[in-house]
Amino acid sequence: MRKSTSLFAAGLCLVAACGGSSATEGTIEITANDYSFAGVPETVAAGSELTLTNASAAEAHELVVMKIADGEERTMEELLALPEEESNALVEFQGVLVALPEQDGVNPEGPGTSIEVTEPGRYAIVCFIPQGADPAVLEAAMTGGESEGPPDMGDGTPHAFLGMVGEFQVEG
pLDDT tens digits, residue range 124-133? Answer: 999 999 999 9
**For residues 130-158, average pLDDT:** 86
- At 51, the amino acid letter reads T
pLDDT-derived band of residue 84, with 50, 70 and 90 as boundaries?
A: very high
- Kindly tell me if the per-residue pLDDT of 5 is higher than 70: no
Residue 10 has pLDDT above 70, yes or no: no
Best CA proximity match to 118, nearest among 153, 151, 94, 91: 94
How confident is the prediction for the chain on average, in pLDDT?
87
* Cβ-contact 163, 140 below 8 angstroms: no
pLDDT at residue 3 greater than cutoff 50: no
- Rounded CA gap, 125 and 62, in Å? 9
36-to-15, 56, 115, 127 alpha-carbon distances in Å: 34, 11, 19, 9
- Write the burial class of residue 142 (CB in 10 Å: 0-12 exposed, 13-18 middle, 19+ buried): middle
Sign of the dihedral defined by the CA atoms of residues 80, 149, 133, 143, in that order: negative
Q: Out of 18-27, 43-52, 95-104, 105-114, pick the least confident.
A: 18-27
Cis peptide preceding 35, ω within 30 of 0: yes
19-28, 94-103, 126-135, 141-150: range with lowest mean pLDDT: 141-150
pTM of the model: 0.84
Residue 53 · residue 104 · CB < 8 Å: yes
**pLDDT of 95 higher than 60:** yes
Is residue 39 within 8 Å of residue 31, measured between CB atoms?
A: yes
What is the percent of the chain where pLDDT is above 90? 74
For the cut 80, the answer to whether the pLDDT of residue 115 exceeds it is yes
Question: Which domains, ranges and CATH numbers included, belong to the chain?
Answer: 24-171 (2.60.40.420)
| Measured distance CA(149)–CA(127) in Å, rounded | 17
Q: Rounded to whole angstroms, how far apart are CA atoms 150 and 158? A: 14
Number of H-type helices and E-type strands within the chain: 4, 9
Mean pLDDT over 148-170 rounds to 92
